[in-house]
Amino acid sequence: MSMYGGMPGGDSGARSQAAAASSDAASAKRDVSELEHELARMRLACAAVWELVREKTGLTEDDLIAKIAVIDARDGVADGKLTRSVRKCTKCGRTMPAKQNKCMYCGTLRAVESVFESL
């Protein structure tokens, strides 16, 4: 008799669960590795863009930090994140999800404020 509820094959069931957990862990590890790689690429791109902007315009890091603070506060919470928020339709005033570009009540198209709004 098996330790797992007296059912035969309890050991193989445990092995199967352990193998599945191991596979899930390996998959999560790959996902984290891919995200770290993408984050490193984004850091590189941001650094390159900032250097170009600074060289071409004469803006300073203080200018950049001030703009980051303004953008951070747009969603009503200065938390260091760019988050989507619910918006109001400019015509009827009803709420619209950030991803939605057309009011489902009156059909008014919402103007996109920036290329980063969909992030």
Give the model confidence (pLDDT) of 45-99 as tens digits: 999 999 999 999 999 999 999 999 998 888 777 888 877 667 788 899 888 877 7
Is residue 82 within 8 Å of 119, Cβ to Cβ?
yes
Is residue 90 within 8 Å of 104, Cβ to Cβ?
no
pLDDT at 105 over 70: yes
DSSP state of 109: B
Q: Which residues span the domain enclosing 19?
A: 10-59
Residue 42 lies in a domain: yes
What is the pTM for the complete model shown? 0.54
Residue 18 lies in a domain: yes
Is residue 73 within 8 Å of 82, Cβ to Cβ?
no
Question: In the chain, where does DSSP find H-type helix?
Answer: 10-57, 61-73
Residue 15 lies in a domain: yes
Residue 82 lies in a domain: no
> Distance between CA atoms of 13 and 57, rounded to whole angstroms?
65
Residue 76 lies in a domain: no
* Cα 87 versus chain centre, distance: 19
Q: How many domains does the chain have?
A: 1
